[in-house]
């Protein structure tokens, strides 16, 4: 390949595009799979943990994988506008790909409950932002209803092209490792992503690109854990606003992934999620957003309990970039306020010597 031009070009044969399709791309995908070096040593376990850092996509989240496909197909079908409900990342991604395509984007977001970076991005990409005094689930319901009455294409993960785009993350992992991991850990909100990874892995296994399949581990925030409770949650709450979702759209698909892979769902408190986010930053230099760290919180818990045995190869997807949510990051580091000193050599020298 000459230079990388996005996941549709790379996996063209496995995606529903033709030679005449105009590809709407921002060179998404091809994100790093980074092996953790310090955390396994800290916890004293013999495990290979890799993180798939999806925060390095063009708009800072895994949503770009699905959005390049969904917007490409919307434009191919003649659509001039897209719409989504979002906890923040889908809206940023939809807005960016609409800008790239030259079409309009409408996004419904829960007022006051989306991270600052996501709001700033979406404004910059010039989407029409509609805040509702309600949560994501109510927004999603409204989007489904309004799409029946207006010429707009829904680009939430109920759009099957989103799932097709996102399955390429599983392809990249197998292409990088030469095999599928033993365990794949993901944060779960609407469950589109766990659905997509399972589709990608099973497609590769069917075609003998890999000989094994991972166990799928879906982790939720304790206050927004419908898969763990086995029923919808009407008032989801969590500091990880990206996964503040109580009525997942890919309910049946996610249960299929769990059942077929022999996997499980579990839930973790905001404190556990934030601790995992800080740990990744502090000990590995990898800054993801709070929701993303739920995958590591879950993996560490299940490694600790032995549910994931030593010797395992584990991939945790880090779905979004830490820079998306500066307010939570500052809150996490409230005790580490920067010091202010005189602009003199003496004062700087003293500050350094004091903290060595
Ligand atoms: C960082 O943007 O639902 O289980 O509207 O932003 O596929 O829903 C975001 C979801 C995990 C959960 N991590 O993925 C939205 C939205 C981050 C996310 C998820 C989201 P799914």
167 inside domain: yes
Are 230 and 321 found together in one domain? yes
Q: Is the CB of 88 under 6 A from ligand 1?
A: yes
Of 91, 125, 158, the last residue of a domain is 158
Are 170 and 244 found together in one domain? yes
320 inside domain: yes
Q: Is the CB of 188 under 6 A from ligand 1?
A: yes
* Predicted TM-score of the model (pTM): 0.98
Are 88 and 166 found together in one domain? no
Are 78 and 169 found together in one domain? no
**Measured on CA atoms in the order 271, 330, 29, 285, is the torsion positive or negative?**
negative
Reduced to 3 states, what is the DSSP secondary structure of residue 85? Answer: strand
351 inside domain: no
Atom of ligand 1 nearest to the CA of 91: 2
Task: Specify the pLDDT at position 31.
Answer: 98
Are 247 and 295 found together in one domain? yes
Q: Is the CB of 226 under 6 A from ligand 1?
A: no
Of 158, 191, 206, the last residue of a domain is 158
Q: Is the CB of 90 under 6 A from ligand 1?
A: yes
341 inside domain: no
Q: Which residues of the chain have pLDDT under 70?
A: 1
337 inside domain: no
| d(CA 34, ligand 1 centre) in Å | 21
Reduced to 3 states, what is the DSSP secondary structure of residue 107? Answer: strand
227 inside domain: yes
Of 121, 137, 158, the last residue of a domain is 158
Are 105 and 149 found together in one domain? yes
347 inside domain: no
Would you say 287 and 280 are in contact if contact means Cβ atoms under 8 Å apart?
A: yes
Q: Is the CB of 295 under 6 A from ligand 1?
A: no
Q: Which domain holds residue 36?
A: 7-60+162-332
Distance CA 356, CA 339 (A): 15
| d(CA 220, ligand 1 centre) in Å | 11
Q: Is the CB of 61 under 6 A from ligand 1?
A: yes
| d(CA 193, ligand 1 centre) in Å | 8
Which among 166, 215, 181 is positioned nearest to 36, based on CA atoms?
A: 181
Q: Is the CB of 163 under 6 A from ligand 1?
A: no
| d(CA 19, ligand 1 centre) in Å | 31
Q: Is the CB of 322 under 6 A from ligand 1?
A: no
Task: Specify the pLDDT at position 1.
Answer: 54
State the helix-helix crossing angle for 168-177 and 192-206, rounded to 10 degrees: 50
Are 247 and 315 found together in one domain? yes
Number of domains in the chain: 2
Structure-token pair, residue 24:
């709407």
Are 21 and 138 found together in one domain? no
74 inside domain: yes
Are 269 and 127 found together in one domain? no
Report the CATH number at residue 240: 3.40.50.1100
List the end-to-end C-alpha distance of the chain, in Å, as a whole number.
48
Are 236 and 146 found together in one domain? no
Which among 32, 62, 47 is positioned nearest to 314, based on CA atoms?
A: 47
Would you say 225 and 267 are in contact if contact means Cβ atoms under 8 Å apart?
A: yes
| d(CA 134, ligand 1 centre) in Å | 17
Are 284 and 237 found together in one domain? yes
| d(CA 214, ligand 1 centre) in Å | 21
Task: Specify the pLDDT at position 284.
Answer: 98
Reduced to 3 states, what is the DSSP secondary structure of residue 293? Answer: helix
Are 318 and 213 found together in one domain? yes
């Amino acid at each position: 390949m000459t230079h990388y031009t996005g996941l549709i070009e790379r996996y063209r044969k496995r995606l529903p595009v033709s030679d005449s399709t105009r590809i709407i791309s921002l060179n998404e995908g091809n994100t790093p799979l980074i092996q953790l070096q310090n955390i396994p040593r800290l916890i004293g376990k013999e495990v290979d943990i890799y993180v798939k850092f999806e925060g390095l996509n063009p708009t800072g989240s895994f949503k770009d994988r699905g959005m390049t496909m969904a917007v490409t197909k919307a434009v191919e079908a003649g659509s001039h506008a897209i719409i989504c409900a979002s906890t923040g990342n889908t809206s940023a991604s939809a807005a960016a790909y609409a800008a790239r395509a030259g079409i309009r984007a409408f996004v419904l977001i829960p007022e006051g409950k989306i991270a600052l970076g996501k709001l700033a991005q979406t404004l910059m990409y010039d989407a029409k932002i509609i805040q509702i005094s309600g949560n994501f689930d109510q927004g999603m319901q409204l989007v489904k209803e309004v799409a029946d009455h207006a010429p707009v294409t829904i680009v939430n993960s109920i759009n099957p092209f989103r799932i097709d785009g996102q399955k390429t993350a599983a392809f990249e992992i197998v292409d990088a490792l030469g095999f599928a991991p033993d365990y794949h850990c993901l944060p779960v909100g609407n469950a589109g992503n766990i659905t997509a990874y399972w589709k990608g892995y099973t497609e590769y296994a069917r075609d003998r690109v890999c000989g094994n399949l991972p166990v799928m581990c879906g982790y939720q925030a304790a206050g927004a854990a419908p898969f763990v409770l086995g029923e919808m949650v009407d008032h989801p709450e969590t500091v990880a606003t990206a996964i503040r979702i109580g009525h997942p759209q890919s309910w049946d698909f996610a249960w299929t992934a769990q059942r077929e892979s022999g996997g499980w769902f579990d839930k973790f408190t905001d404190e556990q999620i934030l601790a995992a986010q800080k740990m990744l930053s502090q000990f590995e230099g990898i800054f993801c957003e709070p929701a993303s760290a739920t995958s590591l919180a879950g993996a560490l818990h299940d490694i600790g309990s032995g549910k994931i045995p030593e010797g395992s190869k584990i991939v945790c997807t880090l779905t979004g970039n830490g820079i998306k949510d500066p307010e939570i990051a500052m809150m996490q580091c409230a005790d580490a306020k920067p010091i202010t000193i005189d602009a003199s050599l003496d004062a700087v020298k003293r500050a350094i010597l004091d903290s060595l």
